[in-house]
Chains A and B, each alone.
Chain A
Amino acid sequence: MPVGSAVDPIVMADLRFAGVRKDYGEIRALRGLDLEVADGEFLVLVGPSGSGKSTALRTAAGLEEVTEGSIHIGDRDVTNMRPAQRNVSMVFQSYALFPHLSVEENIGFGLRARGVRPGPAKVKVLAAAQLVGCDNLLERKPSQLSGGERQRVALARALVREPDVHLLDEPLSNLDAQLRVHTRAELKRLHQRVGATMVYVTHDQVEALTLGDRVAVLNEGVLQQLGAPDDVYRRPANRFVARFIGSPAMNLFPAERVDGSLRAGPFLFEARPDLPERVEVGVRPEHVQVDGGDAGATAEVQVVEMAGSETYLHLQAGESRVIARVGADIRPPVGSIVRVRVNPADAYLFDAETGETIS
């Protein structure tokens, strides 16, 4: 059972991982993954490099054999099926377009490989191209396309065959920042229009939160949390998820008991009697209140990062470093002393031994 799953049980899973383990020699890429993706759902697998997210996607596609466990698509056990028998599509990070084939031939590649005649194939290719908005590019070669256009062609190729499940492996990572935001929204719209089951792998937590109906956070081959983006952000299951999701990352302080209180970095909280021996306190940067008043601990401003609509302050409060996300108009000079506070309701408590969130 995934940690911190906060959604209702799914009635019909379109794609299901049941205790999937994948070893590469000594390296354990997946350690018993249990995960269900609902019919028509957009599920995002997110995690740092080496977390096993791409491996999970590749085992679903059949490009990697599982060491243990099973994979199901609809009511079929596809664990030992060839990739072609699974009826999935895949969009690769590099798009994997054939440079010598036109856009039309690229989109229709799977249809032609499966023996669909040129006439019917052309109709389907045109429909898929129109769906993603690349029907004006059909005669071109991939080298004549921009990054965003290539990405659309790869998507059209995935859609053309109407497979049971679409697997997308970091398809936006080769685009520049502006185009990535634009394409992200387009992808979301496309999913809403098509309603297909999509599993999307990314290391970018912003992509994960903005795109996914649900987000599955992986680390070292273990599912850390599965839930709606809001749940994952607001109710992280453990320290890893809390630190990984959110930018800048959550401030984390080891806590000590002082006279019935809990001191965590510059902050002081009321200590509950049921807390374990060793506790850590997490505070999201946007919950750090910064002002020049009298209340709260003092901190020295060390770095001020302008990020357009907001400002990130890197503060030194005694021995602790604190990052605060404040409004764009708050720009204290470097070296100045400010006061920092946090509302106790906004703080997260973690068991320092296990890393689990203490509710």
Chain B
Amino acid sequence: MIRDRERREYAFMLAPYLIGIAVLIALPGVVTFALALTEYDLIRSPRFIGMQNFRDLWDDEIFRTSVRNSLMFVLFAVPLRLLGAVSLALLLHRRFRGVAAYRTAGYLPTVVPDVAYALLWLWIINPLYGPLNLALDAIGGPTPAWLTDPRAAQWAVIIMSLFVIGEGFIVAMATRQGIPGELYELGDIEDASPLFMFWRVTLPFMAPTLLLLMFRDTIFSFQATFVPALIVTGGGPPPYATTYLPLFIYRNGFEYLRYGYASAATLVMFAMTALIVYLQYRIVKRWRHAFVV
């Protein structure tokens, strides 16, 4: 039984979090939902138009392009980011000389502010003086026009996201360190190859964490394109090669003052994210028996 006094203490301690959720997430969520059914330009009062915004979105070629772009980004970025985080974790989970420096280097891009990080990449992928193309040129590789070739620009945004994997890396590393060392010692005694141990031991142990990271990264990836698309590629090259859903929503809301329309697009993005995470969950549920949970 929780006594009244304890109940008050819990409420007091939870208050900042609950107030934050209410004011910063729940309330804007309700407002977004309401605005999605209106036409609102911040000057005139909102006008109820029912599902018209959603019908307009359906017919909007730019919206369809940004949905396609966002899905493609998630399709490539999520597995690659996960692969990067796991690879780093497996490389750096052991103690050896200098490991702290490597771990810091792995995490560092995550703490760089998004805008600074985007500006840095604007320089890195500059086709004329950027170090990436200079390096590629030096080894005789291709030198894509990252900012003017639509496909290259889409890859540039994906590549940029691959270095911001610090959190996934730390979580994956902690999970790997949690696997009892004796299992690997047994593998050594029983002549199990590293690949055998990876498939039969490491992966099943890490699978629940990796799935959690995948769900989280999927949600994150739908939103992560905003700053690079705004600052590095400007949503282009033309017509809309790197216009992703967040940029589409931002422009409609804050540049074209179509708040109702932007709210409707936000709800679609939310629904898409939820649907994909749900589908992922359904698929992985079938393999649950193979995991260590």
Contact = CB atoms under 8 A, between A and B. Distances in A.
Contacts of B192: 109-110, 113
Give the interface size class of chain A: 20 to 34
B204 interface: yes
Given A94-B180, A94-B182, A113-B196, A99 B292 contact: yes
A62 B201 contact: no
Given A90-B185, A94-B180, A113 B292 contact: no
B183 A96 contact: yes
A86 B190 CA distance: 10
Secondary structure at the A interface, as helix, strand, loop or mixed, is loop
Given A110-B191, A113-B191, A113-B193, A100 B290 contact: yes
Chain B at the A interface: mostly helix, strand, loop or mixed?
Answer: helix
A83 B189 CA distance: 5
A101 B192 CA distance: 15
B183 A83 contact: no
B191 A88 contact: no
Nearest to B293: A100
A92 interface: yes
Nearest to B191: A84
B168 to A, nearest CB: 22
B182 A84 contact: no
A61 B290 contact: no
Contacts of B185: 61, 63, 83, 90, 92, 96
Given A98-B201, A100-B292, A114 B182 contact: no
Given A90-B185, A90-B186, A100 B291 contact: yes
Most chain A CB atoms below 10 A, which of B182, B185, B190, B191: B190
B127 interface: no
Contacts of A99: 292
B117 to A, nearest CB: 39
Contact of B190 (A63, A84, A92, A101): A84
B109 interface: no
B190 A109 contact: yes
Interface in A71-124: 82-84, 86, 88-90, 92, 94, 96, 98-101, 109-110, 113-114
Interface in B157-211: 180, 182-183, 185-193, 196, 200-201, 204-205
Given A99-B292, A100-B204, A88 B189 contact: yes
B187 to A, nearest CB: 7
Contacts of A101: 200
Contacts of A110: 189-192
B39 to A, nearest CB: 55
B210 to A, nearest CB: 14
Interface in A281-300: none
Nearest to B292: A100
Contacts of A61: 185, 189
Contacts of A82: 188
B186 A92 contact: yes
9 contacts: A63-B185, A83-B188, A83-B189, A84-B190, A89-B189, A90-B186, A90-B189, A100-B290, A109-B192
Given A90-B189, A100-B290, A109-B190, 14 more contacts: A62-B189, A63-B189, A82-B188, A83-B185, A89-B189, A96-B180, A96-B186, A98-B183, A100-B205, A109-B186, A110-B192, A113-B193, A113-B196, A114-B191
Interface of A: 61-63, 82-84, 86, 88-90, 92, 94, 96, 98-101, 109-110, 113-114, 161
**4 shortest interchain CB distances as A-B pairs:** A84-B191, A110-B190, A113-B192, A96-B182
